[in-house]
């Protein structure tokens, strides 16, 4: 049985309407537009959110899939996260590498080396809220000029442009 895009979109909307959701729990991924500059890659994203917390928790896990020099599937992951509390090492918007979707390793990335550091470094991002965190992801994958295409879908995102604009 094939599920239509409309049914998938409806299910995604139901998940997002909840105060807490994890796309992997629903066995869902978001396939982004391929990167065609440099080595061609397919970005695949998983999202975990908890908006019940005083400070919203948002984890955008992005797997970058490509074919290696032998034509075999390979990937590396970058996780974009909101601050993890008001104290501690990761109390700011940051990005980290990962080798499997979710720390439990539910979906291991193909050919991703075990030695990839997954706790540090935690790279500082220019973000102030979950929306600008997502925009950081877009800029990191496609470049700053790509925001013009993204913000073309709605005026709401345009108000966030200054939060990620290069200074």
Tens-place pLDDT, residues 25-46: 777 888 888 998 888 999 999 8
pLDDT band at 50 (very low <50, low <70, confident <90, very high): confident
pLDDT digits (tens, 9 = 90+) for 102-121: 766 678 888 888 888 878 88
Give the pTM.
0.78
Which DSSP string do the residues of the chain spell out, in sequence order? Answer: -PPPHHHHHHHHHHHHHSSEEETTTTT--EEPPPB-SSS-BEEEEEEEEETTSSS-EEEEEEEEEEE-TTS-EEEEEEEEE---SSSSTT-S-EEEEESEETTTTSEEPTT--TTS-SSS--EE---SSHHHHHHHHHHHHH-GGGHHHHHTT-HHHHTTHHHH---
Is residue 154 scored above 50 in pLDDT? Answer: no
């Amino acid at each position: 049985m094939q599920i239509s895009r409309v049914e998938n979109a409806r299910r995604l909307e139901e998940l997002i309407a909840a105060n807490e959701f994890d796309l992997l729990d629903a066995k869902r991924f978001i396939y982004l537009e391929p990167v065609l500059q440099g080595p061609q890659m397919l970005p695949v994203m998983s999202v975990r959110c908890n908006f019940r917390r005083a400070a919203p928790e948002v984890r955008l896990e992005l797997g970058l899939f490509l074919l290696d020099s032998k034509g075999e599937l390979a990937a590396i992951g970058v996780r974009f996260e909101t601050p993890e509390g008001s104290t501690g090492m990761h109390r700011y918007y940051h990005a980290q590498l990962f080798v499997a979707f979710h720390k439990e390793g539910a979906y291991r990335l193909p050919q991703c080396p075990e030695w990839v550091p997954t706790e540090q470094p935690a790279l500082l991002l220019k973000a102030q809220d979950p929306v600008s965190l997502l925009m950081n992801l877009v800029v990191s994958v496609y470049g700053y000029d790509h925001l013009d295409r993204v913000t073309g879908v709605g005026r709401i995102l345009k108000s966030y442009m200054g939060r990620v604009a290069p200074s």
